[in-house]
Amino acid sequence: MTTQSIHTVSPTTPPPDADAVLIAGLKAGDGKAFEDLLALHGGRMLAVARRYMGNEQDAQDALQDAMLCVFRKAHKFEERSRLSTWLHRVVVNACLMKLRSQKSRLESDIDPLLPTYDDNGHHQTRVTPWDTGPAADVEQSDTRRHVRECIEQLPVIHRTVLLLRDIEQLDTEEVAKLLGCSTDCVKTRLHRARQALRTLLDPTFGRHYEVT
């Protein structure tokens, strides 16, 4: 498999029995099944990797690692969950492993994006409600895309916590285990990540936004 092959695959919607056929082929070591896996799921899984890595080449590399892992360990898939769910988990784990190997990138400073307070504990800049008028809901896809773009601007370690908690909806204990840190550390990073995301979204929306 090459990086280029992953990049050029266009996602399609699999027929109802496609997963069962793919799983059987992967467990048998069928190369054609692996090609079909990329055709059916590669595009969506690359989108997942991009959210975590924030860099196209790193996302491609993480996806390649994940797909090779899937091919090699397909015999361990117990089919108690959907194939897409398993793929998603493998891709996220591959991204986390790659991020852990890039410690210097995990240490980016988030402070410039955090709110500042005066001596009395009040915001130094005015916090205004966000626009809830009809125009705010005209293009929900545009809104989601903008939120994703702002999430990608967060320092890697804070973006990762935010994605795992607010997008993947893992609980605090699960995130702490994945990242190898304490639950208190996860809570602190998540709080700071949400504050920073609010700062990035304020110019566009001007009201508190909750990631879903």
Q: Are residues 10 and 95 in the same domain?
A: yes
Residues 122 and 46 in one domain: no
pLDDT score recorded for residue 121: 52
- Domain end residue (candidates: 101, 121, 145): 101
Q: Is residue 43 situated within a structural domain?
A: yes
pLDDT for residue 171: 92
CB 24, CB 14: distance < 8 Å = no
Domain range for 184: 105-205
Question: Do 119 and 200 share a structural domain?
Answer: yes
48 and 86 Cβ atoms separated by less than 8 Å: no
Same domain, 96 and 185: no
pLDDT digits (tens, 9 = 90+) for 12-36: 555 547 788 888 988 898 889 889 8
Regarding whether 109 and 52 lie in a shared domain, the answer is no
**Range name among 101-110, 119-128, 149-158, 194-203 with the lowest pLDDT average:** 119-128
Indicate if the alpha-carbon torsion angle 2, 3, 8, 14 is positive or negative. positive
Say what percent of the chain tops pLDDT 70: 73
For residue 196, the domain's CATH number is: 1.10.10.10
pLDDT in tens, 162-172: 999 998 889 99
Per-residue pLDDT band for 187 (boundaries 50, 70, 90) equals very high
Distance of CA 135 to the CA centre of its chain: 28
Q: Check pLDDT > 80 for residue 146.
A: yes
Tell me, yes or no, whether 72 and 133 share the same domain: no
Whether 25 is covered by a domain: the verdict is yes
Q: Share the mean pLDDT of the chain.
A: 78
Same domain, 54 and 124: no
Residue 212 lies in a domain: no
DSSP annotation string for 16-73: TTHHHHHHHHHHTT-HHHHHHHHHHHHHHHHHHHHHHH-SHHHHHHHHHHHHHHHHHH
Write the pLDDT tens digit of every residue in 52-63: 987 899 999 999
Residue 103's pLDDT is what? 61
Say if CB 186 and CB 161 are below 8 A apart. yes
